[in-house]
Amino acid sequence: MQQRMTLDEVRDEDFDLMLRGEPITRLGVKQPPGGVENPAVLEIVRKITARLHENNCRGAWMMVWGEELVGLCSFRRPPENGEVEIGYGVAESRRGRGHATRAVRAIAQAAKAEGVRVLLAETSVANPASGRVLEKSGFVTTGTRIDPEDGEVLVWRKELFSVTSAY
């Protein structure tokens, strides 16, 4: 049987397991060597997830490949005016295997099903691999900006569908 990427909604209790390096028992998936992410990043993603859930948005997922948790991805905030910014990260020991590209494509499908017209993303210029993920997924750069933490970042956009007027 061929493996495929699934996005499973992440719950608050899942972060406790990730922080302890334990399997996500409700899904029957293990964590990769070294865990899915460092504790500081997990806490940031946990806060993003909590804010999404407070706004009745379920746009935060675990990337599952076969029986292994390989990364996390989410909307950065609830969709607004048909647009949403996304973020993603793959466990260091599982990078370079196409997981992020598969996850971004799955996020696009989920967002489109929710009526989102445009996906937005930002990547550090110091992280060209993340930019390649977005290019492969149909995003185009629309400019740059300076982020206080990440320095220069590329700003990306992908039209999921366009709204045409009927005149």
Give the pLDDT confidence of 63-73 residue by residue, as tens digits. 999 999 999 99
- pTM for the full model? 0.91
Q: DSSP assignment, residue 60?
A: E
Alpha carbon dihedral 75, 96, 132, 113, in 10-degree steps, equals: -30
Residue with tokens 């946990």: 46
pLDDT in tens, 77-136: 999 999 999 999 999 999 999 999 999 999 999 999 989 999 999 999 999 999 999 999
Q: What are residue 47's phi and psi, to 5 degrees?
A: -65, -40
Q: Is 11 left (phi over 0), alpha (psi -120 to 50) or beta?
A: beta
CATH class of 5-159: alpha beta
